[in-house]
Chain A
Amino acid sequence: MEQQAVAQTKIPFDFQGRGGEYFGIWIVNLLLTIITVGIYTPWAKVRTKRYFYGKTFLNNTNFSYLADPIAILKGWLIAVAVFIVYSVSTNFVPVLELLFMILFVLVLPLLVVRSMAFRARNSAWQNIRFDFKGRYGEAFKVFILWGVFANILSLGLLFPYVQYRQTRFLLENSGYGKSDFEFKAKTADFYIIYLIVLGIMTLFSILMVAAGAGVGAMMEVSATLTPEERYNQIAVNSQMVMVPLMMLMYFFIFAYVQSRVGNLVWSNVKIKENGMESTMRARDLMWIYFTNILAITLSFGLLVPWARVRATRYRFDKLQLIPAGNLDQFVQAERNHVNALGEEMGDVFDIDIGI
């Protein structure tokens, strides 16, 4: 009885996108992007995002994506120019790669901050925009000092802590209207996830060696072969068992980390005392990713829209808002203008800033 009362107070996110509908948008985007040599990219991006935002409902109101394609076009043109200069010049003068690396390290935090801000300020719900106030200095600290140097120097031992710091930076600087996000997760929560990953890896490794050895032992080896050839033949056959097992392990760990970290992060976000609850499961994600990759491959990419809608629907099916009170009380913040350069650099160079 009591559980039911609690369940009733939660507000589910509702994603109503449909694969067939998105297919039309996707294929037209693809065509226009090709025949305009990419100039249409900003419009394609805005239409895609408007569709996904507009089909995501919370408390019967949809989200809105408000970016201006022209603003994105400017950023996109600069990003493409930099990409061309980069890929051509490093081919001619390989030493330049080093220079670009240094430059990239210095610029990356700026890209993170700018693209987060652009994305947030162009997203709205109930006509109140989201916001991001993170600054370059702090971004440099968490993404470069911690993210690159501390990770390498600690041989990955600090990785969960670094991920915690980066997530905290991204969330605590985010806001909805004038209300800032709070992030309640602890470092230990991140470590627990990766300790379990370590456990899974150990278990799989033992399984793999056992299976490999089993196959090797059961095999009949022709007596006419030299010891070396015999050894090679056993190795080849064992690998046939071990490689698929290893791929299965990587796949599972990927889905496991995605679901557990996603749940941890979103279940610990608070906005003006309103909480969230995320309940993704590793096996569901694994199934969705696996069937999506299969569908995309077998359809030569034509099922990309279907796969994307499906993954998004799962994500929002497992996300709920736990309201503390009235959701009508959020107040709009003052508007600051951000250009789309950071966002587009990130897109063209395929930097994924995900929370």
Chain B
Amino acid sequence: MVELQGQYFDGQTSEGKPAKLLCTSSSFELQTADNYHCYTLDEIKLQPRLANINARFELNDGAVFEAADQPGLDDIYKQLHQGALHQFIHKLENNLVYIVPTLVVAVVVMWALIQFGIPQFAKSVAYQIPVEYESRMGKESLAIIDKAFCKPSKLTAGRQAFLRSKMLTMLGNPDAYQVEFRYCEAIGANALALPSGIIIFTDDMVNLAKHDEELLGVFAHEVAHVDNRHTLRHILQDSITGLLIVVLTGDVGSASSIAAAVPTVLLQTKFSRDFEREADIQAAGFMVKHNLRPVHLANILERLEKEYGDGEESSGFLSTHPLTKERVKYLTNYNNK
């Protein structure tokens, strides 16, 4: 038999009375100065154990008996056992021996989820989304870009047609792609791949090139983005990461929203870089196949960085791309293989 000292609240008024609870294997006798009541096992509910906060016995008449940590309480928790899971969680939370491995496991699981889980999931979902949805998305994106950032190209119609046909003839399925030229002061020298195979070159980009082969290299890079559904995967990965961060920080409170925003942005940048790397690798292979030297792509990348630096003007293209030096090195070496 265990005797617990505590406070009794009848649930009708906020008055608290000193009380004791006599616990036997089959009944719980509650005694206050002016009251005595015997409860059976199923008339009493004990809140799951948590750190060393007061044990809260909820009685079936709406009253509550609260007891601070004291000898004998352990036995009562075991007697009114609330399932092995609750016991296990309480044990985990309270022993450093368990906490440290828990911490390590948590970090590893999170890392694996972000490194492999989310990208893999996004990839399999992206390939299952019907092409019609993607093409609508592409058209809407183009309309928004035209409205907000770009004007019709100032290149001659002949130059446009020449580049377009040169690019598209390299492809086995030219109908799946659409090459657009735009004059976009706000974006600077850039090339964009929209979902559904729309590839936009800005006039500045075309003018930056010293050889048309360089533009074909950029084109190959953008085609790789399209073929691998990078835009769609990027959107999915960003959404899922956002959700993950929301879920994980949900119990941390809103004070941490700044802290939560930082990893989200960092992860999204990392995803972008991974896609750029993948696109470079495929572009190099594609160029070699069409008797173009990948160093052309390296050259225009280098010039792009020289012209635009890593300043704000190029934020759309460079900041989310891997280090230009690294990419140039890869593409130049590819040529020598």
Contact = CB atoms under 8 A, between A and B. Distances in A.
Given A45-B251, A62-B54, A347-B250, A83 B144 contact: no
Contact of A87 (B63, B102, B242, B252): B242
A187 interface: no
Contact of A127 (B11, B137, B235, B255): B11
A328 B56 CA distance: 19
A35 B243 contact: no
A33 B243 CA distance: 13
B248 A87 contact: no
A191 interface: no
A61 interface: yes
B99 A350 contact: no
Q: Which of A22, A31, A35, A93 has the most CB of B within 10 A?
A: A31
Contact of A92 (B63, B93, B137, B258): B137
Interface string B1-29: 00000010111111110000000000000
B323 interface: no
Interface stretch (A46-54, A209-217, A276-284): A46-54
Contacts of A331: 12-14
Contacts of B11: 127-128, 332
Given A29-B251, A34-B248, A327 B102 contact: no
A105 interface: no
Interface residue tally on A, bucketed by range: 35 or more
A325 interface: no
B15 A328 contact: yes
A38 B10 CA distance: 37
A284 to B, nearest CB: 16
Contacts of B16: 61, 126, 328
Interface string A50-74: 1100110000011010000000000
Interface string B56-95: 1000001110100000000000000000000001001111
A350 to B, nearest CB: 6
B186 interface: no
Interface stretch (A6-14, A196-204, A293-301): A293-301
Given A27-B106, A64-B56, A347-B250, A91 B12 contact: no
B170 interface: no
A353 to B, nearest CB: 10
A94 B257 CA distance: 25
Nearest to B92: A28
A340 B141 CA distance: 38
A220 interface: no
B92 A24 contact: yes
A21 B256 CA distance: 20
A28 B136 CA distance: 44
Interface in B232-259: 235-236, 239, 242-243, 246-248, 250-259
B50 interface: yes
A109 interface: no
A264 interface: no
Interface in A278-323: 293, 296-297, 301-302, 304, 308, 311
A54 B250 contact: no
Contacts of A27: 99, 102-103, 106
B145 interface: no
Contact of B140 (A38, A41, A93, A328): A93
Interface residues of B, number: 56
B113 interface: yes
Given A33-B248, A41-B250, A127-B10, A91 B50 contact: no
Main secondary structure of the interface of B (DSSP, over half): helix
A169 interface: no
Nearest to A18: B51
B51 A31 contact: no
Contacts of B161: none
Contacts of A28: 89, 92-93, 99, 102
A32 B62 CA distance: 32
B105 interface: yes
Given A27-B99, A34-B110, A54 B50 contact: yes
Contacts of B258: 293
A127 B64 contact: yes
A350 B140 contact: no
A62 B99 contact: no
A48 B51 CA distance: 10
Contacts of A23: 99
Interface of B: 7, 9-16, 47, 50-54, 56, 62-64, 66, 89, 92-95, 99, 102-103, 105-106, 109-110, 113, 133, 136-137, 140, 144, 235-236, 239, 242-243, 246-248, 250-259
Given A27-B99, A31-B106, A51-B51, 15 more contacts: A25-B93, A34-B106, A51-B53, A54-B53, A55-B51, A83-B246, A125-B14, A126-B14, A126-B16, A127-B63, A127-B64, A302-B103, A304-B259, A331-B12, A347-B250
In the complex, the 7 A-B pairs of residues with the closest C-beta atoms, listed nearest first: A54-B53, A127-B9, A328-B15, A330-B14, A24-B93, A126-B14, A31-B106
